[in-house]
Amino acid sequence: MINLMRNELIKILKKKSTYIILFITIGIIILFNFMFCYSSQSSSFGYTDEDVAEYEELLNDYDVNNPEENSIYIDIKSKADMMKLIVHYGVNSWQAYVISDISQFLEVMNEYEYSIDQTVSEKEYQEAKQNYSDFIQKLDSDDWQYFVTSELEEVNNQIALQENSNTTDDSYLNSLNVEKQILEWRLDKNISYASSFLNDCLHRYESNAEVIFNYEHSDEHDYSDTLNYYNCIEALNTCKYYIENEINFIRSNDNRSILLELLDNYELFILIFFVMIAGSIVSDEFNKGTIKLLLVRPYRRSKILLSKFLVCIISMLLFIAIVGVAQFIIGGFIQGFESTTVPAVVYNFNTQQIETMPIILYILITLLAKLPMYILLMTLAFACSTVLNHTAVSIVIPLLGYMGTSIINELALAFDIKAILYFVTPNWDFTQYLFGHIPNFEGLQPIFSIGICLIYFAIMLVTMFTVFQKRNIKNI
């Protein structure tokens, strides 16, 4: 058996297609990391110098002395002034987040300077001008804590009013308490309004907390709502972990993030590789006539076929290992290795606690959970190769099955087709069960999914071994 497997591995290593897929995958890894690195450094959302210039040019289209156009001119001028400030401080700065509050002062000042009707008094103008000056001073002195403290005082006042009211709005009170928690975190953990990973975590925490509250205080919800509820609990608790531990040097799509989602990010290339191997490993022998040389050896046919099948599994695992190592090294050189020092963070629904583990352990756990899907697709390609003796068809069928999985599952969910539970596609991805999470389809259980996968696996296995045992090779 060992000699048979070694010979099969040598054949795979001699194929040009093996190296073509490998080099393409490594090229994609390099491209992904450069793309994510560049996008994270250059991404900015908001106003630009071009937007300011466009608004200033727009002012030329309106006559400030025309009563019908005067108010429009003032409105555009106020917006242009505010946009200038945002561009000046930077669209990703904390100042850009609070500058919208300055618009009220700008409107009063511009109303006083340009309005024909003179609806703003000198006193109101001077007050607005002083408030504007004080506001700018806080921005220039980097005093973002002032705005957080002011906002926190207002939130505490609103909470007190709600708690002392006879008609308390539970939803509003909950949102106030969440906002209070976020503002306290900003002060305690030194998280400004500026664009950062922890700032994003605060926003995600707030949005997920709202969904969780609405679900827990609603009597009507379907299974998709429950699934979303579980996802929000997971997201909320992971964000809370990052905030409380002040982990601010990681980001979306960095080396760590890509490694944690390694199988999802490169799944198509992994699939193409092992389907290509499994779909050709038997059919090529028949097409080239080399199967005769193999069967004259003192080995049973079942052992020959089994050795080829095991080699396909080994090749798949080796390719996944190569992809993982390549991502770690290439991602590290392009995006840095610092993020990989942070462990994987998962929320365990069984213990209702956050758990951390080494990234490599998390990858291995997710790999074990996805192995049933990979092995079933590989077995399908292998069975087609054995039964049909047609390499192209043996490769295409599993790929179409994989690509059609999401369509089949979505249709089943949309039309509430319960029979889909007995099909393999909703059952073969065991990542849906990890850490106590509920499955994607209502009614599924791990034991049930294992049974379904074993049934489909056994059908394909028995079929290909039976056909291979009885195949006549005299005319090949």
- What pLDDT does 43 receive? 47
Asked if 92 and 120 count as a contact pair (C-beta separation under 8 A), the reply is no
Please name which of 417, 346, 405, 412 lies closest in space to residue 374, comparing C-alpha atoms.
Answer: 405
Location of structure tokens 């089943």: 412
- What pLDDT does 453 receive? 95
SS3 325: helix
End-to-end CA distance of the chain: 25
Q: What is the pTM of this model?
A: 0.86
- What pLDDT does 328 receive? 95
- What pLDDT does 474 receive? 60
Angle between helices 103-114 and 67-89 (to 10 degrees): 140
The C-alpha angle 194, 255, 331, rounded to 5 degrees, equals 125
Cβ neighbour number for residue 366 with a 10 Å cutoff: 19
- What pLDDT does 91 receive? 85
- What pLDDT does 67 receive? 86
Instruction: Give kind and range of the element (H or E) at residue 355.
Output: strand 353-357
Asked if 189 and 181 count as a contact pair (C-beta separation under 8 A), the reply is no
Beta bridge partners of 357: 344
- The stretches in the chain having pLDDT less than 50 are 42-44
Instruction: Read off the pLDDT of residues 33-55 as tens digits, 9 standing for 90 and up.
Output: 998 887 765 444 567 778 788 88
Residues with Cβ within 8 Å of 192's Cβ and at least 6 positions away in sequence, in order, are: 94, 144, 186, 199
Instruction: Read off the pLDDT of residues 391-444 as tens digits, 9 standing for 90 and up.
Output: 888 899 999 888 888 788 777 777 777 888 899 989 999 999 999 999 988 889
- What pLDDT does 351 receive? 94
- What pLDDT does 302 receive? 83
- What pLDDT does 13 receive? 86
- What pLDDT does 45 receive? 53
Asked if 346 and 435 count as a contact pair (C-beta separation under 8 A), the reply is yes
Asked if 467 and 387 count as a contact pair (C-beta separation under 8 A), the reply is yes
